Amino acid sequence: MADRELAGFPHFGRETEVSRRDGFDKVYEVCWLNVFGPKLVERVGRERMLSTPAHLVEELPNGSVLLVLRPTAADFASDEARVAQARAHVHLRPDLDFDTVLRTLRERSAALAPVEPRFHPDLAPLLSRLPDAFAISERQQKIAELNAFRPPEPEEWLPVALPSDVENPERARSDYSDLSESLVAALHTQVPSLVEETPESLTDLDFYFWRENFPERYTRGLIDEHTALALGAYLGGMLVRRLGGTWVPRQKLEESQVRVDKRVWLPFLRARRYMQSRQSLLDYSLTQFFREAERHRA
């Protein structure tokens, strides 16, 4: 699958209309296992086809030819396999240059070489899920990119709490609870762990919003007036429940704080920044925010 994707199957670099018109009118690619139909065999030349340097070349009853490059597919990306692949391709397409074909195949192997994950420790539970969302041919490159990713240090905190400026703090806390529950009600099917209200729930939320590209798929009105507010309340509630924090309500939601020991955190501000774009879901992840608050708990 990975090799096929990197080869540009099924169009092999052609315009879609040209590909549909011409079909497989020549040997655009040679893979580990190939079945060339009768028309293509005749176009290439049956004698040439049957003399291809390969592990197995066999005529089939309907005039097709089965061609297997090597005994096993397990090492298809090894240099020895790539040399065999290039030789077979150039044999079937004398118009191609062996060195050019081999160089392209080696570039594919380099793109598929396994990359060891070395993700930012706070985000490893999240980042480890992202590569599987990409095509198999892109995953190693994505792992390398995510290894290099370093989110900015959370800035949504204050050394000293702003005093509460609401008339009824308990009512404000109840409103935060209602907002949090609205998030659980809306997303518990897609993110079942929300009900458990654990730090892992935040990672599940991060992945869900990233996978769905939520900030760029849904209207800004929905996000700013509903989703971001509910997220801020849920995130703040997590600091209260899991880190022993205390809400310090403010009339302006983005100024509402959760005091955890000597620091106060701004979960609504974090949620607003978080919901700006798909990239901001990683730059301002809920997971990292919680881990940072957890580290600063006395």
Digit-coded pLDDT (tens) for 199-215 = 999 999 999 999 999 99
- pLDDT for 19 equals 83
Q: Where are the alpha helices (DSSP H) in 93-213?
A: 98-112, 124-127, 139-148, 169-187, 199-211
**Section 185-194 average pLDDT:** 96
- pLDDT for 143 equals 97
At residue 16, does pLDDT exceed 90? no
- Which of 200, 210, 205 has its CA nearest to residue 133? 210
- pLDDT for 276 equals 97
- Which of 50, 53, 56, 107 has its CA nearest to residue 85? 53
User: How confident is the prediction for the chain on average, in pLDDT?
Assistant: 95
pTM comes to 0.83
CA distance 246 to 173: 10
Strand runs labelled E in 31-102? 33-36, 56-59, 65-68
8 A C-beta contact, residue 27 and residue 49: no
8 A C-beta contact, residue 262 and residue 298: yes
